[in-house]
Amino acid sequence: MVTDNWKSRTRRVIEIVAIILFVVIGVTIILQTTAPSPPQGVPPKEKLTEARYYQKLGDGMVQCQLCFRKCTIQEGARGVCENRINIGGTLYSLVYANPCAIQIDPVEKEPLFHLLPGDTTLCFGTASCNQKCLFCHNWHMSQRTVEETDNIALSPEEAVTMAAEVGCNSISFTYNEPTVFYEYMYDIAKLAKEMGLVTYFHSNGTINPEPLRALLPYMDAACIDLKAFTEEFYLNVSSSELEPVLRTLKIIKEEGVWLEVVNLLIPTLNDDMDKLREMCIWIRDNLGEDTPLHFSRFFPAYKLLKLPPTPLETLDKAREIAQEVGLKYVYIGNAPGHIANSTFCPQCGELIIKRVGFIVQQYLLKEGRCAYCGYPIPGIWD
């Protein structure tokens, strides 16, 4: 009993230290990145880039077609995301070449566990989002307007050059919802592909089909949040909708882009095991049993400060259900040191990629196959 208590206390201390370190290091890198150039809010009008995917409705009105909201925007106004403004009947992006976060992260932090294990990536994010999730961990960017963040001018060419200079093989669009900086993401990704870099994005999945299909040829992978499996949760907790997310997941799969799914399990809000089973069955039937699913541990953040962290037992139970349903790669995240940080071969059961949190400690794949039994493990390994 004493030993169990001691082990559990030690594990908790390790978790807390790991989380504090990631937050401190992350914030430090963001601040260092933005420090050299004087921060800017909105670029001058002559430097704004016209938005893509919108319609002119007449009388100076426009309708944005980029995400599920399809905002109708009057002259001088902005869409719900606050990143697209109607000036004189033309829609402009306020965040093109205007990021507020540039950071080097491990690929595992995305989380993407079947893509370049142990590698680092250059990540970009801007102000704002098209959702208002009560639990957002990046609210200091995603729930602020472009005037409220410290931004730097960085063209797509400079962004790609920066990745090469800092020795990253990949570029990621993350932190806030990349749909709300679509034009910037698209142009960087296109250039990055020409330079032979790997590209991916982490999204809430509410982009509309046309811009998504146009983007995917320039993306190697996507990490999509499936925040819950009920419309109620999406409406009440994320001010959003579930259906567009399911549509996005299917399109990414259809287009052959590598896909991993993340579900943040929040106590009392989306931890009903019957619903989780339904979600796992949907993933199996629509995306395939090989699609990695990450159950992520919730910690109190933003407007959900009164809820406790997700109990590890809840995450274990969710993983058990996903495996019962037939999903082959089910992970537990935000719980450094948990056995489900690692990858096991679905055929022989051997540990083939050992991770502690985001750190890869052992890699036992040979040409994309289990080193023990030769079973092919799907992903992008080289």
Using the minimum distance from each CB to ligand SF4, give the nearer residue, 62 or 112: 62
Contact call for residue 94 and ligand SF4 (CB under 6 A): no
Using the minimum distance from each CB to ligand SF4, give the nearer residue, 55 or 362: 55
Contact call for residue 69 and ligand SF4 (CB under 6 A): yes
CA distance 342 to 214: 34
Number of residues that bind ligand SF4 (CB under 6 A): 13
Distance in Å, CB of 64 to ligand SF4, minimum: 3
| CA trace torsion 80, 82, 86, 87 (10° rounding) | 160
Contact call for residue 140 and ligand SF4 (CB under 6 A): no
Distance in Å, CB of 80 to ligand SF4, minimum: 4
- 119-138 mask for ligand SF4 (x: CB under 6 A)? -----------x--------
Contact call for residue 81 and ligand SF4 (CB under 6 A): yes
Contact call for residue 79 and ligand SF4 (CB under 6 A): yes
Contact call for residue 67 and ligand SF4 (CB under 6 A): yes
Using the minimum distance from each CB to ligand SF4, give the nearer residue, 35 or 235: 235
Contact call for residue 64 and ligand SF4 (CB under 6 A): yes
Distance in Å, CB of 155 to ligand SF4, minimum: 22
Span from 1-9, 78-86, 108-116, 358-366 in contact with ligand SF4 (CB under 6 A): 78-86
Q: How far is CA 186 from CA 77, 156, 173, in A?
A: 24, 9, 10
Contact call for residue 141 and ligand SF4 (CB under 6 A): no
Using the minimum distance from each CB to ligand SF4, give the nearer residue, 71 or 188: 71
Using the minimum distance from each CB to ligand SF4, give the nearer residue, 64 or 101: 64
Contact call for residue 211 and ligand SF4 (CB under 6 A): no
- 14-53 mask for ligand SF4 (x: CB under 6 A)? ----------------------------------------
- 154-183 mask for ligand SF4 (x: CB under 6 A)? -------------------------xx---
What's the per-residue H, E or C state across the chain?
Answer: CHHHHHHHHHHHHHHHHHHHHHHHHHHHHHHHHHCCCCCECCCCHHHCEECCCEEEEECCEEEECCECCCCEECCCCECCCCCEEEECCEEEECCCCCCCEEEEEEHHHCCCCCECCCCEEEEEECCCCCCCCCCCCCHHHHCCCCCCCCECCCCHHHHHHHHHHCCCCEEEECCCCHHHHHHHHHHHHHHHHHCCCEEEEEECCCECHHHHHHHHHHCCEEEEECCCCCHHHHHHHHCCCCHHHHHHHHHHHHCCCEEEEEEEECCCCCCCHHHHHHHHHHHHHHHCCCCCEEEEECCCECCECCCCCCCHHHHHHHHHHHHHHCCCCEEEECCCCCHHHCEECCCCCCEEEEEECCEEEEECEECCEECCCCCECCCECC
Contact call for residue 70 and ligand SF4 (CB under 6 A): yes
Contact call for residue 280 and ligand SF4 (CB under 6 A): no
Distance in Å, CB of 137 to ligand SF4, minimum: 21
* Binding region for ligand SF4 (CB under 6 A): 64, 66-67, 69-71, 79-81, 84, 130, 179-180
